[in-house]
Structure 1
Amino acid sequence: IYSSRFAGVNATDRQNLEKLLEQLASVEEVERTARFRCVMVFMRHAKDPSPVIAAGSWEGRILTSPSGESGFGYDPVFWVPERNCSAAELEKHDKNSLSHRGKALASLLQKLS
């Protein structure tokens, strides 16, 4: 929830990446696991007693240096093993189907249909 403020309230994506890489500098590659999580909730009204809840997760690893120009946030250091590249190197349509947000949205839409 606070990942956008990891390096401080007004930190840029670059500052967040730099702080993360600095803190993980001595961590071995096998221990640099990462996970993005997204939870979406659909409420029919403000007092809906049974909201529809869907979640998505995206497993990867943290690289030792940024790779790729696309995306935002932590994408340049988030290694996607099933594609053998960083999230910042993925085509947008691939990222949308693999990402935690894409998975959560697909789950939510399936539950609503």
Structure 2
Amino acid sequence: MTRGTGAAGRLLLATRNAGKLVELRRMLAAADLGGIEVLGLADVPEFPEAPETGATFAENAVAKARDAAAATGLPAVADDSGLAVDALNGMPGVLSARWSGRHGDDRGNLELLLGQIGDVPDERRGAAFVCAAALVVPEPAGDETVVHGEWRGRLVRAPRGTNGFGYDPIFVPEGEERTSAELSPAEKDAASHRGRAMRALLPHLATLAR
């Protein structure tokens, strides 16, 4: 790909998380943003990806989107999200994806977290999924936009459901008895932290389709 050539109407979702990519593509399709071709990192030449060293979700999201936009010449969206557990003072937070020591080990992360809060009573098992999403448009525009979404709920003691990933099987949203992993894709998109953040980005993404 020649940097900056033919970028109009194309949007890069800068993630290698297959679950996130499916969710983000589904949300953009539901928003009927015609004229935008959605690409993932597998659709562009590889480029060096800096490790996620930010202290906040926003710092990590912006860094990922900046790297992707600079390397490809495409407008890039990146998100960083995780689970903030009340009883753990907001952890694992930005460390959610590597809480057990290995990035992306969903089962290890989930089992470690359940062990850490095993003695926490049900009434103190509050938590929130938090997402920061960043849109970076490369030069000459050079625009950067950051939005946030939060999804409050509580943690159950054993995983339930197969429709999600990460900590979805132990997270029950407020007003629900089902876990996030027991919700349909449409139900999750309508309520989730990532869904809320992406909807906040839609007015900015719509300009790319014009």
Same fold by TM-score greater than 0.5? yes
2:97 aligns to what? 4
Alignment partner of 1:31 out of 119, 124, 142 = 124
| Distance change in 2, residues 1:19/1:108 (3 Å) | same
Aligned-partner residue type, residue 191 of structure 2: L
Aligned residues: 112
Aligned-partner residue type, residue 76 of structure 1: P
Following TM superposition, the consecutive aligned residue runs of length 4 or more in structure 1 with deviations greater than 4 angstroms are none
How far apart in 2 are the matches of 1:93 and 1:29?
A: 28
1:15 aligns to what? 108
Question: Does 2:202 match 1:103?
Answer: no
Measured against aligned partners, the alpha-carbon deviations of 1:47-88 in whole angstroms (never above 9, x if no partner) come to 83x522211111111111111122111000001132321001
Measured against aligned partners, the alpha-carbon deviations of 1:81-100 in whole angstroms (never above 9, x if no partner) come to 32321001000111111111
| Distance change in 2, residues 1:11/1:91 (3 Å) | closer
How far apart in 2 are the matches of 1:5 and 1:90?
A: 25
How far apart in 1 are the matches of 2:144 and 2:97?
A: 27
1:74 aligns to what? 167
1:55 aligns to what? 148
| Distance change in 2, residues 1:95/1:11 (3 Å) | closer
How far apart in 1 are the matches of 2:187 and 2:160?
A: 17
Q: Mind listing any 5+ residue stretches in structure 1 that lack a counterpart?
A: none
Aligned-partner residue type, residue 102 of structure 1: G
Structure with the larger RCO, 1 or 2 (CA within 8 Å, 6+ apart): 1
Is the partner of 1:85 in helix, strand or coil?
coil
2:158 aligns to what? 65
How far apart in 2 are the matches of 1:8 and 1:93?
A: 32
Is the partner of 1:70 in helix, strand or coil?
coil
| Distance change in 2, residues 1:55/1:32 (3 Å) | same
Measured against aligned partners, the alpha-carbon deviations of 1:8-37 in whole angstroms (never above 9, x if no partner) come to 125621111111111001111111111111
**Percentage of pairs with the same residue:** 37
Q: Give TM-score scaled by structure 2 length.
A: 0.49
How far apart in 2 are the matches of 1:16 and 1:92?
A: 23
Q: Using the TM superposition, give the Cα deviation of residue 44 of structure 1 relative to its aligned residue in structure 2, in angstroms.
A: 2.4
Aligned-partner residue type, residue 110 of structure 1: P
